[in-house]
Amino acid sequence: MGRNSPEHRRRCPPRPPPRRHGPQDMASLPIPDELLAEIFVRLPTPTDLVRASAACVSFRRVVADRSFLRQFRKLHAPPLLGFLGPHTGFDPAERPHPSASAATAVALAADFSFSFLPAPDPAHRWVVWDVRDGRVLLRGMPLENSHGVVFTETVVCDPLHRRYLMLPSIPDDLAASVEGLRPRSCEIFLVPEGGDESTTAEETSFRVIWVGHYEDKLITYVFSSSTRHWQAIRSLTWTDLSAGLLSSTETTLFCRRQYVYGCFYWLPNSKHGIKMLVLNTRKMEFSIAEPPAEPKVCYRHITMVEAGEGRPGLVVLTYGPRGHIYTIWRNNNGSSSQWQKDKVIPPSPGSGYVLRHSMGTHLLLNHWGLSFDEELCPDLCTLDMKTLQIERVCASTAQSFAYSNYPPSLSSPTVSNDGY
């Protein structure tokens, strides 16, 4: 009797088909949390991570872990969410910008009216002075005639988590070096994070720098939230910084502070030559650098940018018959004399774009369209230096500060709420 005979088929019924795993069977084989964390930390954007965490309870548990979030924030810079004006509040990114949903969530969760701050001195009001890494620095400015104000109340806050730290006054023994002197200009600003935070304490630590540009010298103080004290950086005369660099009897030598790869750059005032002032925030040392010799344009038409591989770049805006042309110069070895022309970005379609400053590898542009009117709120756009894509963020005042942060579910406080 063969295997194919009718008798054999009656005695030996056919084998059942192989069993397929259904959804219930797959649910019995959970992915370990450690593997999920390795997958999630490689998601390209914080918005993608928020979507993944909403898929199920187990995903949300992994994403909510503090150590995972610290690791994710170390690898992914916070996205640009909108702009914060000195007096006008927060203008969130609008659709179709990829950060629009996160910006809306932050706008609802944060207090950009700063009602949680203590009131400043009488006849003063809080004014936004700088914005970095989710922190906002505000100064108590007189309601009338604020011209010439040098030292005033200062607070650093986290509007998303409603935390703040009042900065102490600069001690008399430090301020005595400038007593009776009036700077040509002075500024106070936040130092960007170093990018190596690993503990909660370090995530809430920050530094603030006060710089006074005087007629014959540069005075600098640094505040650390870790020590809660101000420290003076060695005072330098302009000739200390560079032989032949003359003092100014009219105005400051440098203006338009920029930040690139751990250094602040002050661009040259067009009236006083072409040198740039540089502050290395790791060493807290000043130096003088020279931009490329070729571009001879107004300082308003140049900006620093991160050119990749840790090398600073300089973007020069010129006007051609078909529109704006951006030329990128790259510093190849850190020496001020080693600038090379990297690329030329062809004219962009349309007109009305005005170079503002940079954020990492992106340029920030004001766009008024065909009619230029500084009284109107322009569209604020970004230009990706790699893809050359221009993307509209929102409409805001020309004087507003870029605000970057993570969505509320992925963020943590950036300011300690401890008092003195």
290 and 166 in a common domain: yes
- Residue 88: pLDDT above 70? yes
User: Tell me, what amino acid is at 54?
Assistant: A
Q: Which of 27-36, 142-151, 197-206, 231-240 has the highest mean pLDDT?
A: 231-240
Residue 108's pLDDT is what?
97
Calculate the alpha carbon distances from 256 to 81, 253, 267, 277 in Å: 23, 11, 6, 11
Look at residue 250 and tell me if it is in a domain. yes
Q: Say how many domains are in the chain.
A: 2
How far is it, in rounded angstroms, from Cα 382 to Cα 371? 20
Domain membership of residue 182 (yes or no) is yes
Whether residue 314 is found in the same domain as residue 394: yes
Backbone angles phi, psi at 173, to 5 degrees: -65, -30
Cis link prior to 92 (omega < 30° from 0)? no
CB proximity list for 19: less than 8 A, separation 6 or greater:
none
Rg of the chain in Å (alpha carbons): 27
Residue 25 CB-density burial (10 A; 0-12 exposed, 13-18 middle, 19+ buried): exposed
pTM here is: 0.84
Tens of pLDDT, residues 320-352? 665 666 677 777 765 556 777 777 776 555 556
Least confident of 3-12, 190-199, 223-232: 3-12
Does 16 reside within a domain? no
Question: Is residue 334, in this structure, part of any structural domain at all?
Answer: yes
Answer yes or no: are the C-beta atoms of 218 and 177 closer than 8 Å: no
Beta bridge partner(s), residue 327: 316, 344
Could you tell me which residue, 138 or 362, shows the higher pLDDT? 138
Write out the residue range of the structural domain in which residue 142 sits: 77-404
Nearest to 165 by CA among 413, 416, 414: 416
Please check the confidence at residue 187 and state whether its pLDDT lies above 50.
Answer: yes
Q: What is the pLDDT of residue 147?
A: 61
Please report whether residue 12 resides in a domain: no
Query: 52 and 168: one domain?
Result: no
Over residues 400-419, mean pLDDT: 88
Q: Which of 152, 78, 84, 138 minimizes the C-alpha distance to 112?
A: 84
User: Mean per-residue pLDDT for 60-72?
Assistant: 94
Q: Is residue 328 part of a domain?
A: yes
Give the pLDDT band of residue 195 (cuts 50, 70, 90): very low
Least confident of 31-35, 36-40, 94-98, 234-238: 234-238
The stretch 83-97 carries a mean pLDDT of 92
pLDDT at 123 over 90: no
Lowest mean pLDDT among 84-93, 228-237, 263-272, 283-292: 263-272
Contact yes or no for 415/165 (Cβ under 8 A): yes
Triad 191, 192, 194: Cα angle to 5°: 115
Is residue 62 scored above 90 in pLDDT? yes
Structure confidence at residue 24 as a pLDDT band (50, 70, 90):
low
> Last residue of some domain: 53, 76, 99?
76
The token pair at 316 is 């020069």
Q: Best-predicted range by mean pLDDT among 10-24, 60-74, 252-266, 389-403? A: 60-74
Q: What is the pLDDT of residue 200?
A: 54
Rounded Cα–Cα distance for residues 298 and 316 (Å): 9
Domain boundary among 46, 76, 106: 76
Question: What residues contact 128, with CB distance under 8 A and at least 6 apart?
Answer: 84, 85, 86, 87, 136, 137, 138, 401
Q: Tell me, yes or no, whether 413 lies in a domain.
A: no
Same domain, 314 and 197: yes
266 and 327 fall within a common domain = yes
- DSSP annotation of 399: T
Please provide the DSSP assignment of 335-392 as one string: -TT-EEEEEEEPPPSSS-EEEEEEETTEEEEEE-TTS--TTS-PEEEEEETTT--EEE
> Is residue 193 located within the same domain as residue 215?
yes
Q: What is the pLDDT of residue 149?
A: 66
Q: Give percent above pLDDT 90 in the chain.
A: 42
CA distance 97 to 392: 7
CB distance 209 to 222 below 8 Å? yes
Same domain, 231 and 351: yes
Return phi, psi of residue 191, to 5°: -95, 125
Domain stop point among 45, 76, 107:
76
CA distance 136 to 83: 12
| Strand 154-158 with 135-142, pairing | antiparallel
Do residues 104 and 153 share a domain? yes
Q: Are residues 64 and 132 in the same domain?
A: no
Q: Which domain CATH number covers 326?
A: 2.120.10
Least confident of 181-185, 318-322, 395-399: 318-322
Q: Is residue 184 part of a domain?
A: yes
Q: What is the pLDDT of residue 97?
A: 94
Q: Are residues 92 and 71 part of one domain?
A: no
Q: Report residue 205's pLDDT band, with 50, 70 and 90 as the boundaries.
A: very high
Judge if 326 and 272 occupy the same domain.
yes
Output the average pLDDT for the chain.
81
Task: Based on the fold, state whether residues 67 and 88 are members of the same structural domain.
Answer: no
**Assigned token pair, 3:** 């295997």
